[in-house]
Amino acid sequence: MYESLDVYRTSAALARHAGQRQALAAIDVANADTPGFRARSLPPFAETLDGAPPMQRTRPGHLGGLDAPAARPVDAGGEASPNGNTVSLEAEIYASAQASREHGQALAIWRHTTQVLRTVISSR
């Protein structure tokens, strides 16, 4: 039942996005001393949803709900060190904190929606 609710799908997509951001930050930190390594990041979740191409239904039941498109990593930019590396540990700490906050938001949405559904079901 709950899998078909768009709010659950959106919160799951937000949690996946946060996990991807956290993984990219970890990869960047692991390569902080690698010559020529370019730091990468993901666009914010809202931009990922806004930039999605319009979907078209090609057959009945084709689009059963909201699935966020996969975000593609982009070059994070930044000034390169003498060895060509663009990883900034301060920026990666900040990105990791943002990903943690994003994941917390996804869990809060999930919990609140579940609580509302339980309240509705128990009042019947």
Query: How does 47-72 read in b/e, with b if 16+ C-beta sit within 10 Å?
Result: ebbeeeeeeeeeeeeeeeebebeebe
**Cβ within 8 Å of residue 97, ≥6 positions away:** none
- DSSP letters, 92-113, are HHHHHHHHHHHHHHHHHHHHHH
DSSP state, residue 89: H
Instruction: Categorize the per-residue pLDDT at 66 as very low, low, confident or very high, splitting at 50, 70 and 90.
Output: very low
pLDDT in tens, 18-59: 999 999 999 999 999 999 999 999 988 888 776 555 556 666
> ∠ CA 19-86-47 to the nearest 5 degrees?
40
Amino acid 65: pLDDT: 46
- Please write down the HEC assignment for all residues of 13-41: HHHHHHHHHHHHHHHHHHCCCCCCCCCEE
Amino acid 69: pLDDT: 53
Amino acid at 11: S
Number of alpha carbons in the 13 Å side-chain half-sphere of residue 93 = 3
pLDDT in tens, 83-116: 999 999 999 999 999 999 999 999 999 999 999 8
For the chain, the first-to-last Cα distance in angstroms comes to 17
Amino acid 73: pLDDT: 87
Residue 83's Cβ-count burial label (10 Å; 0-12, 13-18, 19+) is exposed
